A and B are shown apart, each in its own frame.
Chain A
């Protein structure tokens, strides 16, 4: 049975009208299966009839036309007469309806989709239907819709309640209308929304920056960002999130970043000063989101730490100039505490970010390399360690506390450029501790163990050779030169009693080894003297130098400074020091004339027969020579060799190299131990040229050549 076009179309149209009524909400019974079958079969038949009765093309065209008619006659007018939120609601309704309609129609006309459109490469029915809506409704209204949506968004920003579901539905239209592409959403909605957002926050920020403190502003900023993120999850498309947040961050943080950080009483400096860790953490969180946002923050952090450190240095300088020697120990402690404090800031507030680690490092490098009252920081750290480790030092700490503290010192050491200087001071003090700290664990030091064995042999020797006995108990510690710092030996004129001791030991030592030379370091020796004072006899524990001076008074009642010096054969420095310790310090074994507080070359001395103390046995300390100058000299010498070796090493491998790269490589090679002075490197290069290790190129004076 053939169906004519108009005949068939009438059936389809009836179905279409029924669909319209249903969709419009008018009273209309639902489609039954028969209804559906009828429609489907009608279309099917009209498409499969033999030409000229195959009506596929006509059906395709009339499908589209019918939809267009419906839109034009019914949908558009209803939308045009409404505005704002009402218009939005209507649009959602009409769009929903439209989708339903297109879905049903596609089922009716399904046969077209299966064969006709594929054969002719035409758009499928679904697409045709949606395109109608887009071309007729969307294109006309999208501007108004957009404006209405943005207006609602701004209202919500101001705190009003809005219908979020509505907005979600509207924005879904923008997405769906693209049929797979986000172009419509982005161009017709998102762009304008982002622009509006930027303008909105620009206005807000310009007010807040004037009125609010930095912490308050940041709280508001954080809140805004949170809200905008929620907004995306409520109704915007997820792809808008990064773009939206970027706009907000830009307006709130990038634009006003510097003003915010530099707010006088509440900005970054102030927060650091007042230890506002929460605010600083917030600052980090916020500024880490904007490009290069953390750089100014880390810069202020660095300035702050440098300032704190420099203040400590100044404090220590002031204490030192007021002769408070404990100030230096305290200074190092405080630097350690400062380091702990701001290291915690870096890990807690600043989430271990490298910029802040770097800032902390640079800040410490700046003030840690400033010395205090003539002592370099390398020396201060070495002295600090010495005080912790030695017996009778100014700190009494448990083993764990010692280890913990030393670990912290190592961290500070990383900031000091003169590491080799620290090493040298430390070595010297270590040697001193090993030699004089009775509690020191000798077993670890082979040399001292050997020394003890030596002493035992010596005592045996004395036991076996009665006439060799010097008449005085003598203990000798023999050190192997290379293992210990170099100690200068002076030709002290020993008292006659001690001369015998030295000779006896020398003879003994010859029996042990023939090929070794002993050099006596009298400056390190101690001596127990019996002083026969009038009130009572006392035992005095003194250094060899002091003992030698005191024994002079066994044969003379009164001696002048110059006589003492001549008899002892020591330098002025040593004589002044030792006489001071015996006549101007706590225990006045000698009476000085005139009775001033310092030693001068015109003074005279007498034995103080009336001296006494409640103890039977006292120790008279001799303050050690300031080894500082020697240490610095030694280190400078070592550095010269190190620079020479480094230059030769570099030139040997490169054969030729220009001046600047040579200097740079030298600095890099030596950096682990110290920062070489550029002038010093130049001087060494010149020295190496004159020693024929290098030569300057004849044509290029900046180029050096290695001479094999």
Chain B
């Protein structure tokens, strides 16, 4: 326990008592992981970190305890296992939803701007559904109906990737309750295919 705390304080900002973005960057470099790497997000998930870019002591303790790591070296070794754990279907939905909410910075914020969403999609789903993510990112950038994406749309896309056969889209039915942005996405894809 003490060791975990010590590691925390080695990265934390002296005045705020939290690990701030700078500290996270240092941590990343020690873990030999890029700070935009999805594994950092996974770590945040494991910690149930509330604020993007910051870790509190409590969150730190929670995460490292769960990963059974009390130093950076062990933490690094725990990362592959963590990845596997997140990718398990039962956990992944939770992680995916977490990823969205983690990016909400303002108090009453409910949606995320298109550019950030594109980055987040790439990070969170890119490894699993490369084609869908790439096309969707293209679409998001050229469409003008939506300037932001909300949680319902975000989760809808995950469901889309899981349920809809790609790239033929043969089982997509716009009469069902798919978010409208996905109806438009499918229309756009189909138009491109002809």
- A residues within 8 Å of B by Cβ? 658-660, 663, 678-679, 682-683, 685-686, 689-690, 696, 701-704
Contact of B156 among A658, A663, A701 (CB under 8 A): A701
Q: Is B21 positioned at the interface, with any CB of A under 8 Å from its CB? A: no
Q: Which B residues are in CB contact (< 8 Å) with A682? A: 177, 179-180, 183
> What residue of chain B has the Cβ atom nearest to residue A684's Cβ?
B180
Q: Which B residues are in CB contact (< 8 Å) with A696? A: 152, 177
Bound form: Cα–Cα A660–B174 in Å: 10
Question: Contacts A686-B152, A690-B110, A696-B152 given: A701-B177 contact, CB under 8 Å?
Answer: yes
Bound form: Cα–Cα A571–B7 in Å: 66
25 A–B contacts from the bound complex (CB under 8 Å): A658-B177, A659-B176, A660-B175, A660-B176, A678-B175, A679-B180, A679-B183, A682-B177, A682-B179, A682-B183, A683-B180, A685-B177, A686-B150, A686-B153, A686-B179, A686-B180, A690-B110, A690-B111, A690-B150, A690-B152, A696-B152, A696-B177, A701-B156, A701-B159, A701-B177
Bound form: Cα–Cα A660–B178 in Å: 11
Measured CB to CB, the closest approach of chain A to B156, in angstroms, equals 7
Q: Which A residues are in CB contact (< 8 Å) with B180? A: 679, 682-683, 686
Bound form: Cα–Cα A181–B141 in Å: 86
Bound form: Cα–Cα A660–B153 in Å: 18
Q: Which B residues are in CB contact (< 8 Å) with A658? A: 177
> What residue of chain B has the Cβ atom nearest to residue A691's Cβ?
B110
> What residue of chain A has the Cβ atom nearest to residue B153's Cβ?
A686
Residue among B111, B152, B156 having the largest count of chain A Cβ atoms under 10 Å = B152
Q: Judging by beta carbons under 8 Å apart, are B177 and A704 in contact?
A: yes
Q: Judging by beta carbons under 8 Å apart, are B177 and A659 in contact?
A: yes
Q: Which A residues are in CB contact (< 8 Å) with B176? A: 659-660, 702
What is the size, in residues, of chain B's interface with A at 8 Å between Cβ atoms? 13
Q: Which B residues are in CB contact (< 8 Å) with A704? A: 177
Bound form: Cα–Cα A690–B176 in Å: 19
Bound form: Cα–Cα A686–B177 in Å: 10
Measured CB to CB, the closest approach of chain B to A664, in angstroms, equals 10
Residue among B110, B150, B180 having the largest count of chain A Cβ atoms under 10 Å = B180
Measured CB to CB, the closest approach of chain B to A688, in angstroms, equals 11
Measured CB to CB, the closest approach of chain A to B118, in angstroms, equals 20
Measured CB to CB, the closest approach of chain A to B164, in angstroms, equals 12
A-B pairs, top 6 by smallest CB distance, nearest first, are A659-B177, A682-B180, A702-B177, A690-B150, A683-B180, A689-B152
Measured CB to CB, the closest approach of chain A to B178, in angstroms, equals 8
Bound form: Cα–Cα A144–B153 in Å: 85
Measured CB to CB, the closest approach of chain A to B91, in angstroms, equals 16
Bound form: Cα–Cα A686–B110 in Å: 13
Residue among A696, A702, A704 having the largest count of chain B Cβ atoms under 10 Å = A696
Measured CB to CB, the closest approach of chain B to A519, in angstroms, equals 33
Bound form: Cα–Cα A651–B153 in Å: 21
Extra A-B contacts (13), CB below 8 Å, given A682-B180, A690-B110, A696-B152: A658-B177, A659-B176, A660-B175, A678-B175, A679-B183, A682-B177, A682-B179, A685-B177, A686-B150, A689-B150, A690-B152, A701-B159, A703-B177
Measured CB to CB, the closest approach of chain B to A695, in angstroms, equals 9
Bound form: Cα–Cα A685–B175 in Å: 14
Bound form: Cα–Cα A679–B177 in Å: 11
Bound form: Cα–Cα A703–B150 in Å: 18
Measured CB to CB, the closest approach of chain B to A703, in angstroms, equals 8
Q: Which A residues are in CB contact (< 8 Å) with B150? A: 686, 689-690
Residue among A678, A690, A702, A704 having the largest count of chain B Cβ atoms under 10 Å = A690
Bound form: Cα–Cα A663–B156 in Å: 19
Bound form: Cα–Cα A683–B184 in Å: 12
Measured CB to CB, the closest approach of chain B to A657, in angstroms, equals 11
Q: Which A residues are in CB contact (< 8 Å) with B159? A: 701
Q: Which A residues are in CB contact (< 8 Å) with B179? A: 682, 686
Q: Which B residues are in CB contact (< 8 Å) with A701? A: 156, 159, 177
A-contact bits for B156-189, CB 8 A (1 contact / 0 none): 1001000000000000000111011001000000
Bound form: Cα–Cα A682–B174 in Å: 10
List residues of B (23-57) whose CB comes within 8 Å of A's CBs.
none
A-contact bits for B132-155, CB 8 A (1 contact / 0 none): 000000000000000000101100
Q: Which A residues are in CB contact (< 8 Å) with B110? A: 690
> What residue of chain B has the Cβ atom nearest to residue A702's Cβ?
B177
Bound form: Cα–Cα A682–B111 in Å: 18
Measured CB to CB, the closest approach of chain A to B161, in angstroms, equals 13
> What residue of chain B has the Cβ atom nearest to residue A690's Cβ?
B150
Q: Which B residues are in CB contact (< 8 Å) with A660? A: 175-176
Bound form: Cα–Cα A663–B167 in Å: 28
Bound form: Cα–Cα A658–B176 in Å: 9
Q: Which B residues are in CB contact (< 8 Å) with A659? A: 175-177
Q: Which A residues are in CB contact (< 8 Å) with B177? A: 658-659, 682, 685, 696, 701-704
Bound form: Cα–Cα A689–B177 in Å: 12
> What residue of chain A has the Cβ atom nearest to residue B159's Cβ?
A701
